[in-house]
Amino acid sequence: MKDARLVLKQESSKSTKIHIGGSTIGGNELFIVGGPCSIESLEQMEQVAIALSHGPVQAIRGGAFKPRTSPYSFQGMGIEGLQILSDINRRFNVPTITEVMTESQIPDIVQHADVLQIGSRNMQNFDLLKAVGSAGKPVILKRGLAATLEEFILAAEYIMAHGNPNVILCERGIRSFDTFTRNVLDLGAVVALKQLTHLPVLVDPSHAAGKSELIADLSKAAVACGADGLMIECHPEPEKSVSDARQALSLEQMIDLIENLRLIALAVGRNIPSPKETRALSQLTIGQNEFANQFHVAELIA
Ligand code: PEP
Ligand code: MN
């Protein structure tokens, strides 16, 4: 009997395309997400948006509610962080992504962010999966720390079965015996998920590698094996990052990494959207001076 699960590819040609802001994930263009592990201040997020929002990335990430291993570590800015995301979205016209940890956070998060992220630690929080099923916004579902592909696929099925067709799978590395890298990036899973499901697949090399010097080459490998995009942690001052500092790229490294992916993308029939000053020009609603200033700074950084 045919397996009728919603997540599975029933026809070989089917692939789900999800529209986020002016971009699409799951089509020919790669969807690249950049931003810090945690939102730390408005200034920090402005610096990220100035460097990246005019084209290098299609969305900006930043955690406001952080799942930290230790209860004594920084837990995120909470609602104040969400307000910063809204502000960045409004002024820079860039979609934003942030993690949701509990059902009770959903109303605030959908008001302030464009995409909800379910983190690894919550991949099998079934009540949360059901709740984001009716949140009305796309969901990035990260693979659990030690989840099999079957468990990952069934977690996505929860979200779809509860009414949300816009699910993006994210491979972010799994636990293994070797601690040299923080986790092991499972590129075999990326290939398998693209064959088995019709959903877009993102790769997060940052949490997989845990070391900034490994991120560029892992990103190339991810694009070469068919990932629909990347989610990479970067920070204006990586060494000062309040969480995941060891894996954070600088904004300059992030821009270089994306430029260096172009040829690999082309080799596998994909492309990286070009910087879109023209589109941004017509869509930005912020004041002229602020806009001019933003592009002046962006040019200096580039
Ligand atoms: C994150 O994206 O900052 C994060 C906590 O990721 P993960 O859930 O993959 O550990
Ligand atoms: Mn992180």
Q: The domain spanning residue 191 has which CATH number? A: 3.20.20.70
Whether residue 181 contacts residue 208, with contact meaning beta carbons closer than 8 Å, is answered with yes
Residue 290 is assigned to a structural domain of this protein? yes
Q: What is the pLDDT of residues 141-173, one digit of tens each?
A: 999 999 999 999 999 999 999 999 999 999 999
In which residue ranges of the chain is pLDDT below 50?
278-302
Residue 191 is assigned to a structural domain of this protein? yes
CA 233 / ligand 2 centre spacing (Å): 7
Distance CA 123, CA 73 (A): 22
User: Token pair 């690249």 is at which residue?
Assistant: 32
Residue 276, pLDDT score: 63
Q: What are the start-end ranges of the E strands in 150-228? A: 167-171, 201-203
Residue 186 is assigned to a structural domain of this protein? yes
Residue 1, pLDDT score: 79
Query: Domain tally for the chain?
Result: 1
Residue 5 is assigned to a structural domain of this protein? no
Site to substitute for ligand 1 among 37, 96, 202, 206, most atoms within 8 A of C-beta? 37
Residue 274, pLDDT score: 84
Residue 174, pLDDT score: 98
Whether residue 33 contacts residue 23, with contact meaning beta carbons closer than 8 Å, is answered with no
Residue 275, pLDDT score: 76
Residue 214 is assigned to a structural domain of this protein? yes
User: In which domain, by residue range, is 192 found?
Assistant: 31-300
pTM of the model: 0.92
Q: Is the CB of 63 under 6 A from ligand 1?
A: yes
Residue 9 is assigned to a structural domain of this protein? no
Residue 2, pLDDT score: 84
CA 292 / ligand 2 centre spacing (Å): 32
Residue 128 is assigned to a structural domain of this protein? yes
Residue 190 is assigned to a structural domain of this protein? yes
User: Token pair 């990430």 is at which residue?
Assistant: 61
Residue 213 is encoded by which pair of tokens? 């010097």
Whether residue 97 contacts residue 114, with contact meaning beta carbons closer than 8 Å, is answered with yes
Q: Is the CB of 120 under 6 A from ligand 1?
A: yes
